[in-house]
Chains A and B, each alone.
Chain A
Amino acid sequence: MIQDQKSKKGAVTGLLFIAIVLLLVVLLENLSAILPAGSVPAVLMPTSQLFTVLKKGAVYSLVAVSMNLLNGFTGLFSLGQAGFMLLGAYTYAILTVPVSAKDTVYYLYGGSAVNFSLPDLFGGVDTPAGLILGVLLAILLGGCVAALFAYLIGLPVLRLKSDYLAIATLGFAEIIRAIFQWQPLGPVTNGANMITQIPTFNNFNITDANGTVILRLSTFFPFLIAIICIVVIVMLINSSYGRAFKAIREDEIAAEAMGINLAKHKMLSFCISSFFAGVGGALFAMFVNNAQAKVYTSTMTYEILLIVVIGGIGSISGSCLATFLYVACAEWWLRFLDSATTFASPTAPNRIAFMVIFAVVVIGGSALLIHRERRGSNQVWKQTLVGLVAILLLGWLAWFAATGELTLPLLRTGFRMVAFSIIIMVVVLFFRQGMLGDKEFSDILFARRRNAGKEATK
């Protein structure tokens, strides 16, 4: 009874939270129209990097959560996510290219072999029914195709364990990529060229007769789909199937002894995860406005895997949080590292900000390293070395503060990703649990209250 009440309360809180998030997204997106012109900060303009980050973050968080379902909750280490995304993206793109645009998109092959388009069946992309029904159906079918392929791949592959499973799924992703680039399939997949002119997120902006945007929903749409899918995954994890998945993760033999059908549950998890990866792939195609096989490489899978690891393997909210942090860092916050920066005036705010951040990073990093060394073997020289390097760096900072003008060394195209991968390595090596470990955000938020409750019952 208490359990029942608690879960109902949790569901209400969750729904409330989701509603607030969705409302905030819509509000954020339309602030530029509500606020008087001229007083809109650059961040809130529709072309701002913020919305790119939000859209990509929504898409990636769905894929990351789907990967977490497999890697974190079922303990199947699969690296095929990019392949399933590709299947979803291509299914979506092939089914939604408007009939009128087929000849221009498939001009190399003299038109497409698929001579219908889902939105056109329901009245075209420009009508609400055609857009919503057509796009949703195509996304769903994208997921289904991915799940079907996952079933076929899973039949031989799921018998393998740990790293062999990883490399086999990686191989399948590469095979799928090769098939979609195959010239003879051109009338369907457009060969190695991209499929363009598909309905994108921007089609969901509501416009008036003149074509001016009344209500922007282009960020709202991916959020809505991603949230619905993630809720489904969370419900699945909390169901008896989810408990079976976790049992398999903890100990396969024990799980089997408890009467869990290993093959069936592994296959189920693999197919469901691939379904949502396919949906994520379809959304990704909408995000980048095209579908092209060469984008969905193993690098993409690695990226998503690193997101899952940073967020904490086995934590849904961790994956979502990590996705937005990752995407924001990669696309937005660390952009300044890609171009040469000169701090000329000694009082410029970005100069002070740089000095503070630099000092914090150096002191924090060296403290972490020294602390770690002390915990392990007592090697004094290592600690001294770290300390010396830190002092040198701080000395450089002091010298810089004293002399004034300086062009930061190293900063040019590509440095962002180097800095970024170093941060990732630090997370992988020093914070192996990720941001949230296998806890959920709500666990941490409500931990104190729950502990208090426990003591009261004692």
Chain B
Amino acid sequence: MEFFISTLLFGISAGGQYALIAIGYTMVYGILRLINFAHGDVFMVAGLIGIYSTSWLTRLLSEVMAPEAATAAAIPLSMVLVLVLTVVLGFFIERVAYKPLRSAPRMSVMISAIGVSYLLQNTATYVTGGQPMTYPNIPMLSDTVPIAGTSIKWVVILTPFLVVALVLVLTQLINHTKVGMAMRAVAKDFETSQLMGIKINSVISTTFIIGSALAAVGSMLYFTTYPAIVPTAGAMPGLKAFVAAVFGGIGSIPGAVIGAFLIGICENFVKILPFEGATTFVDAFTFALLIIVLVFKPTGLFGEKATDKV
């Protein structure tokens, strides 16, 4: 029973982290019809920025204050820095790699996304020297608390609440602001909304900015749970988040979040299945789920019915 509860908790927290990435996928797909393969790598880069900015700020601040106070002050500052820099990165990727291909066939844009992903991974290898990097301990989040007989990090408990809060804010933004309305219009019909005077480029940029910001928050939560970052660390969570987005019905934000939670929970239960070598199948399980969903219910759980999607 205790084992069950801790697995469930880990599953929910993993699901929350996937949800934050999945929103970026689902929003971009809803508007551009593009699988943004680089999104997982943006997430990884956000983790690396966290590491470098923390150590840099700690060094900078320790010159003016006591070392402990410097560490304490560096973490929140670096979190802000991560958020800002990731947003800038997401914005630039869209402007440089996707915007010039706006009128090109969809496949060209996807290839460009794969190219960006390749570039980000190689750059990360270059900067880190290929070594796994350790994520800094964020006070509060990294502390443990005993629940159901095992000690669990606070981040595991906080993640789902944070995710739900962020999603609520986001749905409010999309349903009740002008930008949100523009986004919905563009997702519905790209060309007509352009004719209606919506500035499509700024809407797309906003989408990428929101997606990147959520990925940055996700990276803080994710890498506090799994502390080592390697250049390919973003690829697998990225793909899983995409699967979550498809599972929930691509284009739908609540769908992506629920899909992500389901995948996170299922995945953690697959890990403890009572047969030899079950952990090998954690990733495979997600993809098997994807294929089943695509074949039997291509619109996902909450997706709108559209004949041209699959």
Residues of A within 8 A of B (CB): 77, 156-157, 159-164, 166-168, 170-172, 174-175, 177-179, 181-184, 298-299, 302, 305-306, 309, 412-415, 417-418, 420-422, 424-425, 428-429, 432
Asked if B130 contacts A309 (CB within 8 A), the reply is: no
Contact of B106 among A162, A182, A429 (CB under 8 A): A162
**Residues of chain B with a CB closer than 8 A to A429's CB:** 96-97, 100-101, 112
Asked if A160 contacts B115 (CB within 8 A), the reply is: no
**Residues of chain A with a CB closer than 8 A to B35's CB:** 163, 166-167
Give chain A nearest CB distance to B229 CB in angstroms.
15
Inter-chain CA distance A71–B96, complex, in Å, is: 25
Convert B238-269 into 0s and 1s, putting 1 for each residue whose CB lies closer than 8 angstroms to a CB of A.
Answer: 01001100100000000000000000000000
Inter-chain CA distance A309–B107, complex, in Å, is: 11
**Residues of chain B with a CB closer than 8 A to A168's CB:** 290-291, 294
Asked if B125 contacts A417 (CB within 8 A), the reply is: yes
Inter-chain CA distance A77–B111, complex, in Å, is: 11
Asked if B277 contacts A184 (CB within 8 A), the reply is: yes
Interface assignment of B119: CB less than 8 Å from any CB of chain A: yes
**Residues of chain A with a CB closer than 8 A to B104's CB:** 432
Give chain A nearest CB distance to B273 CB in angstroms.
13
Q: With A156-B295, A299-B232 given, is the CB distance from A424 to B115 under 8 Å?
A: yes
Inter-chain CA distance A163–B290, complex, in Å, is: 13
Inter-chain CA distance A174–B104, complex, in Å, is: 29
Asked if A422 contacts B280 (CB within 8 A), the reply is: no
Asked if B107 contacts A77 (CB within 8 A), the reply is: yes
Asked if B291 contacts A157 (CB within 8 A), the reply is: yes
Closest to B282 in A: A178
- Beyond A77-B110, A432-B104, 20 additional contacts (C-beta under 8 Å) are A157-B295, A162-B107, A163-B34, A163-B107, A164-B310, A167-B246, A174-B239, A178-B280, A298-B239, A302-B118, A305-B114, A306-B115, A414-B125, A418-B119, A421-B123, A422-B119, A425-B112, A425-B116, A428-B115, A429-B112
**Residues of chain A with a CB closer than 8 A to B235's CB:** 298-299
Asked if B130 contacts A182 (CB within 8 A), the reply is: no
Give chain A nearest CB distance to B200 CB in angstroms.
15
Closest to A159 in B: B295
Residues of B within 8 A of A (CB): 33-35, 96-97, 100-101, 104, 106-108, 110-112, 114-119, 121-123, 125-127, 129-130, 232, 235, 239, 242-243, 246, 276-277, 280-281, 283-284, 286-288, 290-291, 294-295, 298, 309-310
The 26 sampled A-B contact pairs (Cβ below 8 Å) are A157-B291, A160-B298, A164-B294, A167-B35, A168-B294, A171-B286, A172-B291, A174-B284, A175-B287, A178-B283, A298-B235, A299-B232, A302-B114, A414-B127, A414-B129, A415-B126, A417-B122, A418-B126, A420-B122, A421-B118, A422-B119, A424-B115, A429-B97, A429-B101, A432-B101, A432-B108
Give chain A nearest CB distance to B201 CB in angstroms.
11
Inter-chain CA distance A412–B123, complex, in Å, is: 12
**Residues of chain A with a CB closer than 8 A to B129's CB:** 413-414
Asked if B118 contacts A413 (CB within 8 A), the reply is: no
Give chain B nearest CB distance to A358 CB in angstroms.
20
Q: Which 5 A-B pairs have the closest CB atoms?
A: A171-B287, A414-B126, A178-B284, A183-B277, A417-B122
Q: With A167-B246, A174-B287, A299-B232 given, is the CB distance from A428 to B125 under 8 Å?
A: no
Asked if B130 contacts A413 (CB within 8 A), the reply is: yes
Asked if A164 contacts B118 (CB within 8 A), the reply is: no
**Residues of chain B with a CB closer than 8 A to A424's CB:** 115, 118-119
Asked if A182 contacts B280 (CB within 8 A), the reply is: yes
Inter-chain CA distance A34–B33, complex, in Å, is: 59
**Residues of chain A with a CB closer than 8 A to B286's CB:** 171
**Residues of chain A with a CB closer than 8 A to B287's CB:** 170-172, 174-175
Give chain A nearest CB distance to B300 CB in angstroms.
11
Give chain B nearest CB distance to A187 CB in angstroms.
13
**Residues of chain A with a CB closer than 8 A to B114's CB:** 302, 305-306
Asked if A302 contacts B117 (CB within 8 A), the reply is: yes
Closest to A164 in B: B310
Closest to B125 in A: A414
Q: With A166-B110, A305-B111, A421-B119 given, is the CB distance from A156 to B126 under 8 Å?
A: no
**Residues of chain B with a CB closer than 8 A to A298's CB:** 235, 239
**Residues of chain A with a CB closer than 8 A to B290's CB:** 167-168, 171
Asked if A178 contacts B110 (CB within 8 A), the reply is: no
**Residues of chain B with a CB closer than 8 A to A174's CB:** 239, 283-284, 287
**Residues of chain A with a CB closer than 8 A to B116's CB:** 425
Asked if A414 contacts B130 (CB within 8 A), the reply is: yes
Asked if A161 contacts B119 (CB within 8 A), the reply is: no
Give chain A nearest CB distance to B277 CB in angstroms.
4
Closest to A427 in B: B115
Asked if B115 contacts A181 (CB within 8 A), the reply is: no
Inter-chain CA distance A422–B284, complex, in Å, is: 32
Asked if A421 contacts B276 (CB within 8 A), the reply is: no
Interface centre among B114, B123, B283, by most chain A C-beta atoms within 10 angstroms, is B114
Inter-chain CA distance A309–B309, complex, in Å, is: 24
Inter-chain CA distance A420–B118, complex, in Å, is: 10
Asked if A161 contacts B101 (CB within 8 A), the reply is: no
Closest to B128 in A: A414
Contact of B112 among A156, A167, A417, A428 (CB under 8 A): A428
**Residues of chain B with a CB closer than 8 A to A413's CB:** 126, 129-130
**Residues of chain B with a CB closer than 8 A to A432's CB:** 101, 104, 108
**Residues of chain A with a CB closer than 8 A to B277's CB:** 182-184
Inter-chain CA distance A157–B295, complex, in Å, is: 7
Inter-chain CA distance A424–B106, complex, in Å, is: 18
Interface centre among A164, A184, A413, by most chain B C-beta atoms within 10 angstroms, is A164
**Residues of chain B with a CB closer than 8 A to A305's CB:** 111, 114
Inter-chain CA distance A259–B110, complex, in Å, is: 31
Give chain B nearest CB distance to A111 CB in angstroms.
19
Asked if A160 contacts B294 (CB within 8 A), the reply is: yes
Inter-chain CA distance A421–B115, complex, in Å, is: 7
**Residues of chain A with a CB closer than 8 A to B100's CB:** 429
Closest to B126 in A: A414
Inter-chain CA distance A412–B110, complex, in Å, is: 30
**Residues of chain A with a CB closer than 8 A to B33's CB:** 163
